Amino acid sequence: MYYFISQPIMTIKIEDKILFNEIKNRNKEVFESLFYEYYPRLVKYAEGFVFDRQVCEDIVQDLFIYFWEKTDAIQLEQSIKAYFFQSVKNRCLNHLRDLHIHDTHRLLYLESMLNDDESDWVDPEMISRIEAAITALPPQMASVFRMKYLDGLKYREISKLNNISENTVKTQIQRAKERLRQLLLQSTSVKFFL
């Protein structure tokens, strides 16, 4: 009597094998085709984890750079599509971990509140505490934060208005978020969203 032990077999479609081999062979047309097909979908997917469009675009671009430069090191055990989406998810979670954010819903709440014109559903006391926390930031940091989240300006626009680099803008916003988190956590009624 013979016994067969069934193991899950990962099968990759022949199309994915061909595409992956073309990338290994440095076929730029295939790479560009994959980029244009998946980039918008991956950015939108990333926004489900990280609620900052610029950061999401950076994450997806970094993934494609890695995919192009490190293809030989990648062991494709699934479809290219599955690889891309799983990689974006992992990179987003790593980004959130690096920011010490453990509950992404809290950040979503803050983002939606800061970007919502009709904020009558928000507790006025909470708004005043947030405003006080923003005011407690260093002047340039507070200004950059307001431009991004209250005025809805892009990094590029903020950098031109302040005569600073886009990287400085990003750094200021990250530091502002961290300081706001620290300031607001001192108040028990706003702990739940930061």
If the chain, 194 residues long, is cut into consecutive pieces of 10 residues, what is the mean pLDDT of each piece?
44 84 92 94 89 90 94 87 91 80 49 48 60 83 85 87 88 83 58 38
pTM: 0.48
pLDDT value at residue 151: 78
Give CA 29 to chain center in angstroms.
Answer: 27
| 94 close to 103: Cβ distance less than 8 angstroms | no
Task: Quote the CA–CA distance of 10 and 49 in Å, as a whole number.
Answer: 27
Q: What percent of the chain has pLDDT over 70?
A: 74
pLDDT value at residue 123: 52
Task: Quote the CA–CA distance of 69 and 80 in Å, as a whole number.
Answer: 16
All domains of the chain in start order, with CATH:
14-98 (1.10.1740.10), 104-193 (1.10.10.10)
pLDDT value at residue 4: 43
pLDDT digits (tens, 9 = 90+) for 147-167: 887 778 888 999 999 888 888
Tokens of 91: 């990179």
pLDDT value at residue 121: 42
Task: Quote the CA–CA distance of 88 and 170 in Å, as a whole number.
Answer: 20
pLDDT value at residue 124: 57
Other Cβ atoms closer than 10 A to 166? 15
Residues in the chain: 194
